[in-house]
Structure 1
Amino acid sequence: MPWNPNSYYQFKDIRFKPFYDLAELIVGDNVLDAVDLGCGTGEQTAILSEKFTNINFLGLDSSAEMLSDSYNLQTERLKFRQSTVEKFVAEPSTWDLIFSNAALQWVDDHRVLFPQLISKLKLGGQLAVQMPYQPENILNKILFELGNEEPFRTYLNDWNRPSPVLDIDTYAKMLFENGLDQLDLSLRVYPLLAADADTLYNFITGSALIPYFERLEQAKKLEFVDEFKTRINKHFSKFPNIYPFKRILLYGRKNKSINSQ
């Protein structure tokens, strides 16, 4: 996907707060090697590297555009590489820390993905993941509903993207059953003050709208955007307004191999 770092970080404050909340869950002792999945521009990975000075970090992202400036941040303990999460889980490497902030919502089938990620943790290793809780976020709901309706369903050739993000109870069960303990799971609201519908449109245009735009010709894209903004106005009815953006934070440590249970 043609990610645009400038569009994505237009709302940097609200995008960084859950990152800091997730980073606070990490225990830095006895951690040597860590990977940041979906590291984006690498700025957050660099912050982690500065916070945990005893850890070697590798930042992975599938987007060349997002990674373009990250290589300037590289140090002896901080490296970056272009790769997908799917390629990562297929590699034989194991890690003391697998970190991912606002990235795994782009990867399908979490019932398969999370056991794969946990299998790549060393004994005592930590998993720390944050994702937008798309099933309950209004903008994601409006977007999915719009993609299922005509004429946009035809414009998109019957394509739509249901969120792979599961409910928190399911993640708790998966993490526990795959050998993690010291679990810390939460659903948090990060309110965005929206002056108008354009604010909310701009907030989602740098992320969830990207794969829809890829599939729409310019005239159809403009029609899609116009209807999307109309529905935002209809739902919120008046501005300024608060958008209660929900995110799910997941943390656990590997206490044993699943094969030993």
Structure 2
Amino acid sequence: MADWNSVQYLKFENERTQPAIDLVNRIFIGDPKRIIDIGCGPGNSTQVLAQRFPNAYILGVDNSSNMIETAKRDYPNLDFKTCDVSKDLSMFGNDFDVVFSNACIQWIPKHNELLKNMMVLLKIDGILAVQTPMNYQEPIHKIIAEVSINKKWKSEFSSPRIFYNLTQSQYFDLLSEISSEFSMWETIYCHKLKSHKDIMEWYRDTGLRPYLNVLSDEKKKAFEQDVFDRVVEEYPIQKNGNIIFRFPRFFFIATSKTK
């Protein structure tokens, strides 16, 4: 699989960072000493943590070398490491006050196991704070799914894209089991984008990425064009020329149990 593109990802840095800010502002813990940011990407979420908790040691980890290189360049005062968290988290110990993850776990399978492993990283009464996109019912996701399985494109994709998120009900039951207390909420962000092309730019290194990775350059352009034509149909232009781009995101904060 091709590496993530930090330049593409950061084209909408403010919009992508806002959920991290909102999640960090819901973390109430006195003077944390150690924090880990799982799936830190280009470091924008790690910097949000550093601003909120300036006295803490903060480690950002991500499986993308491109993202980690960008994070190290842009935030040299913070610590970053390349790590595939789907395979091993035990190397980081079990003494973190906060385990944070913003828009990452949707790419990782087996959430029952994953969240338990994330909890193991925490001290007693430590805080697990997670945000994951849940925008499957929005037009852009339906468009990509429908285009990918039509007669023109179905043969190009050996298997449909898998969404690893659990349902909110399943997260409720899981957090009831693995934490002493927790809270859950959902926020729908109504981003203001300037054009339909901006929607494509937003998704080129996220929702479109699994499809584009398996296509030739020529077919990438054709696939994107087919998606774009549908995007134009489904997203109306507002009076000022902008487009409302709805983006639902799911959050939860959980406190670790006594070990």
Give the TM-score, by structure 2 length: 0.89
Contact kept, 8 Å, 1:89 with 1:117, in 2: the verdict is yes
Secondary structure in 2 aligned to 1:53? coil
Partner residue, 1:71 = 72
Deviation at 1:61, TM superposition (A): 0.9
Deviation at 1:90, TM superposition (A): 4.6
Secondary structure in 1 aligned to 2:250? strand
Question: What's the CA shift string for 1:53-92, capped at 9, x where partnerless?
Answer: 23211110111111113224243xx311011111343536
Choose 89-98 or 5-14, whichever is displaced more: 89-98
Question: What's the CA shift string for 1:199-218, capped at 9, x where partnerless?
Answer: 21111113121221110011
Give the TM-score, by structure 1 length: 0.88
- CA 1:132/1:149 → structure 2, altered by over 3 Å: closer, same or farther? same
Partner residue, 1:215 = 214
Secondary structure in 1 aligned to 2:131? strand
- Matching residue's letter, 1:140: H
Secondary structure in 1 aligned to 2:54? coil
Deviation at 1:39, TM superposition (A): 0.8
Identity %: 25
Partner residue, 1:101 = 102
Identify unmatched segments of 5+ residues in structure 1: none
Question: What's the CA shift string for 1:121-161, capped at 9, x where partnerless?
Answer: 221111001111132333122222322233322112x2221
Partner residue, 1:159 = 159
Partner residue, 1:253 = 255
- Matching residue's letter, 2:61: L
Partner residue, 2:138 = 137
Contact kept, 8 Å, 2:132 with 2:250, in 1: the verdict is yes
* Alpha-carbon separation, structure 2, partners of 1:129 and 1:185: 10
Identify unmatched segments of 5+ residues in structure 2: none
Deviation at 1:246, TM superposition (A): 0.5
Tell me the C-alpha RMSD between the 2 structures: 2.0
- Count, aligned residues: 253
Contact kept, 8 Å, 1:70 with 1:80, in 2: the verdict is yes
* Alpha-carbon separation, structure 2, partners of 1:48 and 1:195: 29
Is 1:111–2:142 an aligned residue pair? Answer: no
* Alpha-carbon separation, structure 1, partners of 2:194 and 2:217: 27
Partner residue, 2:51 = 50
Contact kept, 8 Å, 2:196 with 2:243, in 1: the verdict is no
Partner residue, 1:26 = 27
Deviation at 1:27, TM superposition (A): 2.4
Is 1:184–2:183 an aligned residue pair? Answer: yes
Q: Kindly report structure 1 stretches of 4+ aligned residues shifted beyond 6 Å.
A: none
Question: What's the CA shift string for 1:160-196, capped at 9, x where partnerless?
Answer: 2121122222212211111231x22111011122343
